[in-house]
Structures are given as structure tokens and as C-alpha cells.
Structure 1
């Protein structure tokens, strides 16, 4: 018969043995301790803690977890840092180089050009060309490319451009006379329109097209200090050091793995009752933009792929998502607490595909190429309702300087979720929106597609720094009446780009928006097909005029034209954002139906 044992602690080090008891005297490797945990759980033991000692754990392949790695109900297996330790799971390799005149030269394990490398913990980007504002779009690629730019290009260079809320990367496949041909279907999909919404306005064939921002992955030697080029034929990376790096011994961190940790259950056998605490996740690569699909987003890190498309998928279903360092699918009661996500090529963590009960709390996200946290799914009415994720908490995190490469990404992105708390996060320094929840625009009908969406007491500033048509907090889709709200947040847009403080876009329905401090902007609810919105008791220095009032939108009272904030608003401002010393969430993770008091 299964039995419950006394709590056990297993110990791991970066140089641990591949076998043994994983005890204090003989710590073992990550793979060995995972096998030990599975054996103990199969025997009925619970209360197991895996203690990671200090150091960098260089993974040769992602750690894969399934149902056999699960804890007992309410008695999770804990993977956590040893006291005072800061373990990092890394997907990068330390590569030593040589001096080559004014350059540093590094032999690469493959002909792939890395999307970035690191020197002393600082990201270095591939060389970039000048902008090409006069490049002309045609069905095959770009013409009117200046000779100086053409001379720097090679097959495999990437054309990078943005239009409105979308960011694009398509590879160069032919360098011709005054023009380049770009990879298909990437370039075809970038120009597609939707059936009725006119989304080509945010594409290279739209009226906002302003040319190519830059080309990267250039030929020849790097010209700008702090940048590199790759000779793919000879598998050599050449880096031009900054002046203060010139005397160092040449070495780089070369990201290699695309994922670090994958928790993948099934509906019948979910992966469950696991805690990851005090662990760093770093050093990932992401190769997809170099493929023929390139990087063509619909919105916020969800991508349009594949051949033979004649239009964009209007409701956004069937999208692929930007890669994540950590991925949770069909999870139950999974916690990430006091972790760090940094130096990542694509995104941080995704909690999706029928995950019910998950939390990301008290964690740090910075220096990330894509978004920070993804939650939920893109199918509004799945055949199996259990496949829609639920009961997800994202709270007390600090997220800044993300979406560095893929600028359409956001700090926290949620698709369709039944039960979501986004609370007390501090978010700043983003090219696009801060928080985005909901999906489907106006294509999902009149039935609710989400419920209990609680966006509470977040502090957001310095967003919309590059892209357009977004805001500090962005919502979509119809919620179950009486369950969803945006309350007690601080959206400070005074040092941001153009955008809305709170943006109730398209089919946003049944949201209460109350007791928020919105500075330098206001609330937008422009669409006539949005409704049942109560936008009251907010404070702003803006005129605070209703944006398309509509018969079911309540826009007053609000406190507008403020030169100074009243005491109640100052209290909201002081309480918003990440809090120190918050405890790890308790299991099971459940989101209450009703919103907290405004």
C-alpha cells in the first residue's frame, strides 16, 4: 500500500554525480535527482524537496516533467534554491575566443547565427544596417534598396520592420540588383488582411508602412563596437569589442537551448503539485525567425505561420505562440515563486493548454527578447471546455525591459482564461502594452468566453515606447457578467509613447473599471460592439471624456483635470505595484468568482 513518509531533502550541484543517494555528502545531477524523485513518488513517498546548490547548471537538453514527476495533492515536490544560493538553469555555452586584430573571433558549433550573445552578463546584438525608409514593397520582397545596404547583406540576413502594433522579421533569400527577395510564406503572410477588420493597415502594405527599420545578420566584419557578424560558411563569429572590453580575455556566453523546463501533462494525467522557488532561468536561443515562416505576429506574440493562407484568422484561433524558456501544459497547482527570468532570446513562461491552477509570484523578469508571462489559450469555445485554462495567478512580479527583440510582446499576456488574477505587478520600459487580457476581437459571438478576470493594483509606466494602438492595460472579449474588473491600478503614461492608460478594445464586455489612477492619458472604449462597462470613480489629469459612450457604458462619476491627487488616489498609488515579503501562494490555487472590493 502507498504510504506517506517523513519529509526528505535531496541535494543537487552543477557538478553532481549521475547516480547515488543525492544526499548532503554525495549531491547528484539534475537528471539523477529527477529519477530519484520519480522512484520515491512511485513508492508513495511525499514531502520531497530538491535543494539546488549555488552555481550555473548548464543544460544539454530541456528538463522534461510529466505526471510521474508530480507531488501529492497539497504536498508538492519542491525544487528550490538552497539557503543563500542562487542557482541558474542555463541553456548557454561558455565559448572562448581569440584576438583577430581589432576583433575577437569565436568558433561556433554550427552554422546558425545566434540572435544575441552575452559578455559579462550584457547582451550583444548582431550588426545592423541603417534604416531603409524608401525601400519599396512588392510581392517578392523589397526594391529600391540602397547600394550600401545591399553590399552588407547576405542570404540569411533578416529584414526587420514594424507597423502599428505588429513587428515583422523575414529572411533574405536572394540579394539582387537594387532589391532583395524575402522568405515565403513569411512575406506573404505579413501582407495578409483579415476578412472584415482591415488589418492590412498594420502590415507592410498598409498606409503606416515607413520602410525597413534595419537589416541584421550582415556579411563581412562588424563595424560598430559591441556588435558581431557570423561567417556561416566557416562557422565563425566575429565581435568588435567596446573600448573597455579590449583588454579582456575573449569569451562569450552563447545561448543554445530554446527551452529550459517543460512541464507537459495530459488531460487524463496532468503534471501537478510542483513548486519551483528561487531558481534562475537564463541563456535561451530561438531559431524560428530564421525559418521560412519568419516572425509574423497577429498580436502580442501570437504568430501567423504556414503556406496557402488567403486571410488572417479573424478570431486569432490556431495561432502559434512565441517560444518560452519555461512551458506548462495541462498543469495542476504549479507554482513559480521568487524565480528570475533573464537573458532569454524569446519569452519567459507560458501557462496554457488546459492548465488549471498555476501561479507566478514574487519573481523578476528582465532582459528578455519576447514577453514575460503568457497565460491561457486562443480558442474561445473549445470542444472540450476543460481544455480552456483556469485559476491562474500572476502577482507581485517585477517586469521591465522585455520585448527587446520582438516588440509586439507585452509583460503579461493572457488569452481566454476562466479565473485570472493579475495583481500587484510593477511593469515598465516596454515597446508596446503592459498587460493584455482577452482574445477574439468581435468574432466569438455573444456568449461569454472568459470569466473572473481580476486586474488589481498593478503599477505600469514607460510603455508604448515604440509601437502604437495599445496601452498600459489592454482588454478584449466578453466576460461572464459581474466577474471581471480593472481596479486600483496606476497607469502612468506621462513618460510613455502614444497610447491609452486603460484600453477596453473591440468586444470588451462586462468589465468594471474603478478606482484607478490614470495619468497622462485616459480610458478608451471606442467600439460600438463593446458594452456593459462601468468606468467610474477613477482619477486622471486628463479631460476624462467618454470615448463612444454607448447605451450600456457608464462613464461617471470620475475625477478629471486633476492638478494634484486627492488622498484616496494617493493611497491607491502608494499601494500599487509589487510588494516585498509576500508569501508563496497556498495550494490549491483557486481564483474567486467575484472581484475584490474596488
Structure 2
């Protein structure tokens, strides 16, 4: 019998047996014990406390087995440095053998009663604290009640969006908080809360920007309605968008000038699968889908804004501008604004006087000073004093000279101080008529302490909220990176599972699903960590994220603060960007030595894989001016490099927005220790609203892009369209393959582009077949791929023909006709064909019948099964236009060829 605490027991057992110890703890959802044994398990908090105690006393890994059940959280499960493994040993949190534990951030809604027989509307009291942005019924996501896609035309006015026609529908609504307008505009997704509904009195539309918007906005109708927007959101999303330029933003300016739909109003209820949340009364309304029984269904609303937070210190660091009150300037300093050189906040404070002094008071363990490097710069004398005693703790001289002007440079850095209040005094080193330029500073408030050597295996993380858009809307920059409405600085949608300042953190064999924000992120200097072999599905934002957008200023002496050495591989990332359409399946910002390999990415609203940030920030002024002669040169340095995108399988992306692609790169990269940025062995297909399939956008540099297969193209197979994209080698290390050889011309600088080899519609070259076969999930992980005998038209499998000059099939999404998945492929040219190799005993082909359709000819294993007339007096969707059954259970090939009519339409396939 044992009582009390037992941290020494495993070590004692090891010494007695001569074997290495193995500490195993147990947790259960209803655990109440302190032993953390299988018979008397702890809860999560108890197991976490026991693991901390054991970490310094055992000589082996510690394993915490999570027993079967649902671990419901009211707030995120949090790990700090004290939860780390010790002396290189790892603490593993994993499913017990045979168990399927779920870390659950939702709360169940019960007690539904039908209140409207005609519309089949049901109501229940919402659980306290629940978020009303998402809801799931038996694991299937419901939609917030909304208008039809693009149903009403709006135009922007000073206070909001006004109807172009005399529509008065909204005036019949009872205004309640929670109504929201969503606008998908080019590559941006924009949202603002509605704060009022009024008759239109202001008929003057907002002035348009001829360079970016193409023409004046329509005039509102005097008989129409205005949706009044939350003022700050409306100002930044429409009236006065933030355009700081590189490294935070490109040159484009899509604004919130219309409504894709309006959501969150009770009056919109009526469509099965839609809900409405009355936040003021705490009531939840829902119209069930066929087959759903709300007296028995598991209805979940997210509660916790996050599920797992692994947080080291100092956390996220944000620069402070040179004009902050904590910086005091004595002597002949000058303030310069809008210089156009890329200054932080577009201003600097500078002096040529040896007698001028700048004093920065800060509390923390260190500080980075941001300034400028140029040929006319001077060295800095820096003195750090204890603010309480005046004692000098550091005294340094730092050189700021450079042959070329570069902005936002770390010109002086001090770290590793005991946490206290300090004064940093800066002055010019010489009396020469050179400049000392100060642009801002970054305080390190805490010592650098990582959370390290943790693993999470075999767990399901489900149901998380992200409630921030309720208050301030969604102010988009790009790719799930937003503008903070209070500071105007960038940030991104937080991951429900977030690691900050982590080292050697592992996620393996987990499922991340039903998430209201982003999925999993490795952020703020997380290093040597891995996300391998997981399933990520049904995520409102992006799936996997690594790196930041605002730590570009770090230099090569600050590698401990860089996000580097991480691996994202063999994950199945599907159905991302469900709510926030600008987000990316796998997104990597500023990072080093990141490997994105052998992932499957599918069903994404925007880009599949995106890597890099900063646009042309690291490109020369000559390159920038060649692209945009009327814009200033904003130039600095980036530390990203040696990143690799290899062996991924990507399909059915770009479903909603444009100007992205299956693989998209942005901003400068470096070659580090001979490791070049590499994009190879990927197979990409079917991008609905795509400019370029392999897209090297502004500033992309030093990429070696080779041995990729691009088919079912949704645009150019390759895109390099600006001079700031430089020194990329396309096809120099191996052949790229495509069914559509059209590329966007090489408008970059010093790039080498070898033409891709054209893929025939029939048998592909063996090398291309091999790339496709080896792309995506490797054999040990292929069970993660979604499997179904039902194949939608953009899914993996169908091959759509090209005429070797351009694609013959187009994708149409958001048709609102009831198509499978809301989309179809269609062709207008006779002879256009689709091939579907399959293994089975039969197949059905679904399409559309309509007056503008004609005959298609169907072949099975090369033998014609005749022509089928798909015409009809009126539109009929989800029609079975061909079926064959009773085939031998073996590989077969189905081919459908358009023979006549204006259109042929393919909607889906079903296998026997």
C-alpha cells in the first residue's frame, strides 16, 4: 500500500531492477484522485501537477495516458515552462491504449422545442457563456442564418452599405445585435457588425480609387435601406483602409464595397441547417435538416476561445514607435514623417548632433532598438543603467553604417538582464556630420524561457470558439492576417492549439476539428517542433500555421527568437476557411528551415499552402521601382530562408477567393548553409478561382521549383509577375509537368524558367506518374485521407481535358441551384472530356440537364456506351446521366466526352 506523493518511486524502482524507469500517469474526465494510477486516475490538472513533480526525478520520458471520455474545458488547457520535460526527456500526453479521448471546448444545448410548425423552427436556451458564431449538430456544422449568396446589390456610403435599388426588406427587421455583413472581395474576406438599419438618406457613394477599383461605385437608391456599420470596422475596412506598405502590406486595396451576404438576423431563419443565436435573450433557434431529431441530437456550441495553449516567455513582441512617451529626446533632434523609406509607422527621429541624447525607459530583461542603416549613418553609443540606482550595467558602441539604405534594422540590442526597470541612453559616437536615426524599439518584458520537450499523441481536439469578430469585425490584410483595430498593427487569427516560445513540441496522430478560429500554430520563436500525421478538418480559419508577420526585424544574432527548424508533414488538412475565406490550409510566415512535406490539402476556400511574408521588402529599390514607379522604395531585410515545400498533394482549393493558388510564395527567402528554398515533388490540381497554380508573388526569391505536376489547371501553371520576384530557378533541377503550358510571363528579375512538359490527356510520362503517386501522404499515413465512394467534381480522381493551350473545363461555385458541394465543372467546347480511373464494380455520373445542354458520349474501358442526351426543358440538377454496374472488381476507366449543345456539366461520381 502506498500513500502520499511518490515522485521518487520510479527512480527507486529503476535502481532496484537495473533498468531505466518508465513513469506512467493516468487521467480521466471524472478523475478525482491524486495517485494518477489507472484505477485512481487524476483529472487533467492533477495529472499535470504530478508530471511537473516527476520531471526532475525520473530518468526517462513521462507518459500521461488519457483514458476514454470527453474532457470538457471552460478555458484553454495551458502549459508553461514549468511543464517541460527535463534533461532532454519528454513528457508525452497521449491516448491510453484503445481509448479515444477528446479535449472538448464546447457546451451542449438541450431542451429544444418546436415553436414554428410551418417553418420548422426549434428553440432552446443557450448554455451560459457559449459563443453564437458556430454550432454543430451531431458533428455537422450548421450555418448562421443568412441571405443568399450575392442576392442584394449594395454600394458604400459614409456610414455603411446602402442598397442600390429600392429594397426595403431589411427595414422590416427588428434590429438586434449580432447582425453582420460579409464581403468576399478578390483575395480579401471582410466583415463588419451592423449597428443600425435605416432608410437611406445619404445618396453619395464613397469615392472610388481608380487605380484599384476600376470605376465609380453605384449611387444608392433614395427608396432603399442602409445597414449602418460599426464605425471603426467600417473606417478601416472601407473608408480609410490601412496601407502601410512593405513589409506589412502590398499595394492592393480591395475594400468592403458590397455584401456577399448578410447574416445573423432572426428574420433570415427558414433554411434547413441554419441557426440564429439571440445573444440578448440567450435563446438558440435552429431549423433542422432532414433526418435530424433535436430531441436526441448532440447540439454543441463552442465555449472556450482555445483548447491548448503552450506558452513560453516573453510571448509575442510588438515594436513601439520612436514617438512613444517612454522615449525622451534631449538636444537637436528632428522628427521626420512620411519619408517613404519603409520606417516603422512611417516616421523616424534623427539627429546630426553629438550632444543630442535619447533616453528610453523600460521594464524588462532587454531591448532592441530599431533604426536605419545607410552610408550617412553613424555609430551609436549606448549606456544601460539601473533606473533605481543609476548604476551602469552595460556600455556599448554599435555601428549603423551600410552601403545601401535599409529600414527598421536592429541597430542596438541588449538581452539577458535581470528583470528590472532600466534607462537606455543613446547618442552619436562621432562629431562627423552623419546621422543617427531612431525608428522604434522592442522591449523584452520577460526572460526567454521556452516550453520544451512535450508531445501530444492520439488525442482529438474539438469545438473551440473565436469570438473577437463579434466585437470588432474582421479587418483583413491577407491570408488570415488581420489589422488590429486599436493599434493598426498586424496579427493573425489565433490557433485553437497554439505554441508560443516552444522547443521540441510534437503533435502526432491527433485530430483537430470543429474549430471556430484557426487550427494549430507554432508561433513566436517556436523551434525544432513537429506537426506530423494529424487530421485537421472543419476549421473556420486556417489549418496549420507557423511563424509571424511582424518579427521581420530580427537579425542573425537573434536566432533564439526565430521560428525555425519546424516540420509540418503527413497531415490531412481539409475543409479550412469555412467562415473566414481568406485563410490558408497551411500557412508559414517568417521562418527558417521549415519543412512542409507530404501533406494532403483539400477543400480550402483560398490558397492551399502559403509560405513567406513581406512582399518586396527585401528586394532592391531598382526592382521595386520597376514594378511601381510612383511608389516609394520601402526596403529592409528578412531572415527567412532554407524553407521547403516538397511532396504535397493539393486539390480543390481557391473555392471562394482569387489571387492565390495551390502553392503561393511571398517575400524574400535566403539560402542558408547551402540549403536553398525548394518547391518540388508536389502534385496540384483543381483550383476554382485561380490566377496561377504555382505562384511566386512579390519578393519571392531563390526558389528552386522543379519536378512538380500541375493538372486540372485553374489558371496559369506558373505565375511570376513582378520584378521584385528574383533569382528563382524554375525547372533547372528537374522537369515540371502540366496539362496547360500557359504561364504568366516571366516579369521578374534574374529568373530562369524552363518550359514545363505538357501532359497528354491519356497516359502520362512515367516520371509524372511517379511524382503524383509519391505526392501527398506517405504510405504509413494514408489512412488519414478522407475516403468515400462519393467523389465530387473537384475532388481527387477526375482528370479534365485541356487543348494544350488552355483549359477546356471551368469550375462554377456558389451557383445556389443545389449542386453537390455547391459546384460543378462545365465545358463549352465539343470534344472536351473527363476521365476517371477507378477501382470497383460500377460507377454513376451525376450532372445537370437543361435546355442549353446536349449530348455526351460515355466510354468504359475505351468502349463507347453510346451517346446520352442531357437536354431538358428546364434546369434539373443532381441528375444521374449515366450508370454502369456489375463490372469485374478491378481497375477501370470512365471517360465522358462532350458532343453537342452549349454546355456539358459534371457534378459528381458515385462508385459501387
Report the TM-score when normalising by structure 2: 0.60
Deviation at 1:162, TM superposition (A): 1.0
| Partner Cα separation in structure 2 for residue 410 and residue 551 of structure 1 | 27
The answer to which of 100-109 and 73-82 deviates more is: 100-109
| Partner Cα separation in structure 2 for residue 279 and residue 319 of structure 1 | 32
| Partner Cα separation in structure 2 for residue 198 and residue 582 of structure 1 | 38
Change (3 A) 1:134 1:400: same
| Partner Cα separation in structure 2 for residue 565 and residue 151 of structure 1 | 60
Equivalent residue number for residue 382 of structure 1: 554
Residue 158, structure 1, aligned to residue 176, structure 2: no
Q: 2:613 touches 2:668 (CA, 8 Å); kept in 1?
A: no
Residue 147, structure 1, aligned to residue 168, structure 2: yes
Q: SS where residue 348 of structure 1 aligns?
A: strand
Change (3 A) 1:112 1:149: farther
Q: SS where residue 469 of structure 2 aligns?
A: helix
Equivalent residue number for residue 10 of structure 1: 25
Equivalent residue number for residue 540 of structure 2: 369
Q: SS where residue 49 of structure 2 aligns?
A: helix
Deviation at 1:200, TM superposition (A): 5.3
Cα deviation 1:166-192 (Å, max 9, x = unaligned): 101110111211112111311111121
Q: 2:54 aligns with which of 12, 31, 40?
A: 40
Equivalent residue number for residue 391 of structure 2: none
Residue 485, structure 1, aligned to residue 657, structure 2: no
Q: 2:680 touches 2:707 (CA, 8 Å); kept in 1?
A: yes
CA RMSD of aligned residues (A): 2.3
Q: 1:111 touches 1:233 (CA, 8 Å); kept in 2?
A: no
Change (3 A) 1:32 1:54: same
Change (3 A) 1:505 1:12: same
Deviation at 1:149, TM superposition (A): 3.2
| Partner Cα separation in structure 2 for residue 578 and residue 332 of structure 1 | 25
The answer to which of 376-385 and 178-187 deviates more is: 376-385
| Partner Cα separation in structure 2 for residue 446 and residue 174 of structure 1 | 44
Deviation at 1:42, TM superposition (A): 4.2
Q: 1:112 touches 1:232 (CA, 8 Å); kept in 2?
A: no
The correspondence of residues 269-288 of structure 1 with structure 2, limited to 5 A, is 269-288=449-468
Cα deviation 1:366-425 (Å, max 9, x = unaligned): 111111011011121227443221011000000111110000001100100011000000
Equivalent residue number for residue 497 of structure 1: 689
Q: SS where residue 50 of structure 2 aligns?
A: helix
Q: 2:710 aligns with which of 505, 518, 528?
A: 518
User: What is the number of equivalent residue pairs in this alignment?
Assistant: 567
| Partner Cα separation in structure 2 for residue 524 and residue 557 of structure 1 | 13
Unaligned runs of 5+ in 2: 1-6, 15-20, 200-224, 314-446, 619-634, 783-912
| Partner Cα separation in structure 2 for residue 446 and residue 559 of structure 1 | 38
| Partner Cα separation in structure 2 for residue 91 and residue 247 of structure 1 | 21
Q: 1:581 aligns with which of 776, 780, 783?
A: 780
Q: 2:193 aligns with which of 146, 171, 175?
A: 171
Report the TM-score when normalising by structure 1: 0.90
Q: 1:446 touches 1:478 (CA, 8 Å); kept in 2?
A: no
The answer to which of 253-262 and 105-114 deviates more is: 105-114
Residue 301, structure 1, aligned to residue 480, structure 2: yes
Q: 2:273 aligns with which of 226, 245, 248?
A: 226
The correspondence of residues 224-373 of structure 1 with structure 2, limited to 5 A, is 224-246=271-293, 248-249=295-296, 251-266=298-313, 268-291=448-471, 293-307=472-486, 318-373=489-544
Q: 1:154 touches 1:175 (CA, 8 Å); kept in 2?
A: no
| Partner Cα separation in structure 2 for residue 550 and residue 246 of structure 1 | 58
| Partner Cα separation in structure 2 for residue 399 and residue 198 of structure 1 | 28
Equivalent residue number for residue 592 of structure 1: none
Equivalent residue number for residue 548 of structure 1: 746
Deviation at 1:497, TM superposition (A): 2.9
Equivalent residue number for residue 730 of structure 2: 535
| Partner Cα separation in structure 1 for residue 192 and residue 510 of structure 2 | 34
Deviation at 1:561, TM superposition (A): 5.9
Q: 1:194 aligns with which of 216, 233, 243?
A: 243
Q: SS where residue 702 of structure 2 aligns?
A: strand
The structure with higher relative contact order (CA 8 Å, sep 6+) is 1
Unaligned runs of 5+ in 1: 206-210, 310-317, 584-598
